[in-house]
């Protein structure tokens, strides 16, 4: 269970760490990729598992910035696909820090797809990813405990 940090300095530091990157109204732009034929399902659309893996990479990127070290996905909540992604679509993932606990982070990911020759992007899916900051031994650690880089 995640409880939001009540100590304002720790929450503010986490938000500052999360703000690196191209900040937009949808969040920090974390990944932009082109959907390729190798990523299709039998129906010819982009496989939902590929989209989910991109989301996990985007959330993990932000979790690493916030925790300043190793972290792991412990939950994905509320994912629903709104429309298919086609081969050649430009897929963009935005990340937003929602909550910070002692060792956990809730990160919201929005996914948008823009057909290759069009200007308008459409929302494809979104979900909340929960990560836990880890020591090098794989044990949960406080997010405020920044690992020694040596």
Using 50, 70 and 90 to split pLDDT, how confident is the model at 27? confident
Which of residues 13 and 81 earns the better pLDDT score? 81
pTM assigned to the model: 0.82
Domain total in the chain:
1
Secondary-structure percent of the chain, ordered helix, strand, coil, rounded to 5: 25, 35, 40
119 located within any domain: yes
Per residue in 102-135, pLDDT (tens digit) is 999 999 999 999 999 998 999 999 999 999 999 9
CA distance 31 to 95: 9
94 located within any domain: yes
141 located within any domain: no
The pLDDT value recorded for residue 150 is 44
Task: Tell which phi-psi region holds residue 44, choosing left (phi > 0), alpha (psi between -120 and 50) or beta.
Answer: left
Query: Is the CB of residue 61 less than 8 Å from the CB of residue 22?
Result: no
2 located within any domain: no
140 located within any domain: no
Residue span of the structural domain in which 80 resides:
8-133
Residue 26: both structure tokens together: 């949808």
113 located within any domain: yes
143 located within any domain: no
19 located within any domain: yes
Which whole-number Å values give the CA distances from 110 to 5, 7, 25, 70, 96, in the listed order?
Answer: 24, 28, 11, 23, 9
The pLDDT value recorded for residue 30 is 87
CATH of residue 68's domain is 3.10.129.10
Give 59's contacts (C-beta < 8 A, 6+ positions apart). 73, 95, 107, 109, 129, 131
Per residue in 37-85, pLDDT (tens digit) is 999 999 999 999 999 999 999 999 999 999 999 999 999 999 999 999 9
């Amino acid at each position: 269970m995640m409880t939001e940090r009540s100590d304002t300095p720790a929450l503010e530091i986490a938000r500052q760490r999360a703000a690196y990157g191209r900040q937009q109204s949808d969040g920090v732009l974390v990944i932009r990729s082109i959907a390729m034929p190798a990523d299709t399902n039998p129906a010819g659309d982009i496989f939902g598992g590929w989209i989910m893996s991109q989301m996990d990479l985007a959330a993990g990127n932000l979790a690493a910035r916030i925790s300043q070290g190793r972290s792991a996905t412990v939950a994905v909540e509320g994912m629903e696909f709104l429309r298919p992604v086609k081969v050649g679509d430009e897929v963009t993932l935005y990340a937003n820090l929602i909550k910070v606990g002692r060792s956990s982070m809730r990160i919201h990911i929005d996914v948008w797809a823009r057909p290759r020759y069009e200007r308008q992007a459409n929302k494809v899916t979104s979900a909340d990813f929960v990560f836990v900051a880890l020591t090098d031994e794989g044990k949960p650690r406080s997010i405020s405990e920044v690992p020694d880089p040596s």
